[in-house]
Amino acid sequence: MAGFGARAYQKVSVDSQVMSANPHKMILMLFDGAIEAIRLAQLQLTARRVRAKCEALGKAVCIVEEGLKASVDRKAGGLLAERLVSLYDYISMRLLQANLRNDSKALQEALGLLADLRSAWAQIGHTPVPPVAAQAGRPAAGARAPAAPARIGR
């Protein structure tokens, strides 16, 4: 009975986080969910709990495919987006192989890749990215030149 209450509380907590999250935070939550599911699958694999391992890996694959991969904007992202989608495909394949073969190395590889992507995504959220033209020392297209400083005493 105590487990039910804890699960209900956790669900309410996750639901409220989702409702208040911006798109960047939502992707971080997807990474966290996939990583947590893989870690759970590793524990279940070690404990030889086949059904629980399969459920955890099914959840991880679902998050990668229907959450992370589906959120990639292929039109706006160009080649980078296509490579990211290919990486998500690879991660899903490794998770499926891990499930079929009880392969802990495949789980560890998928976990490492997702952890690296999560870390990079988290850094994007903390770093303001100026327009490319401004990075080269030129004003961005359509940007106004800075106004001359006001003179004091006139």
Question: Is 149 part of a structural domain of the chain?
Answer: no
Mean pLDDT of 42-53: 98
In a domain, 103, yes or no: yes
1 is a domain residue: no
CB-CB neighbours of 27 under 10 Å: 21
Confidence (pLDDT) at 125: 79
User: Angle 5-64-113 (CA atoms, 0-180°, nearest 5)?
Assistant: 105
**Residue 125: what residue type?**
G
Q: CA separation (Å) from 100 to 86, 105, 106, 123, 133?
A: 21, 13, 11, 34, 49
- pTM of the entire predicted model: 0.72
Taking residues 136-143, what's their average pLDDT? 48
Q: Is the separation of the CB atoms in 53 and 41 below 8 Å? A: yes
Q: Is residue 152 part of a domain?
A: no
Average pLDDT over all residues of the chain? 82
Residue span of the structural domain in which 101 resides: 18-121
Residue 26 inside a domain? The answer is yes
CATH of residue 105: 1.20.120.340
If one counts the domains in the chain, the total is 1
pLDDT tens digits, 55-94: 999 999 999 999 999 999 999 999 999 999 999 999 999 9
Q: State the pLDDT confidence band at 146, using cuts at 50, 70 and 90.
A: very low
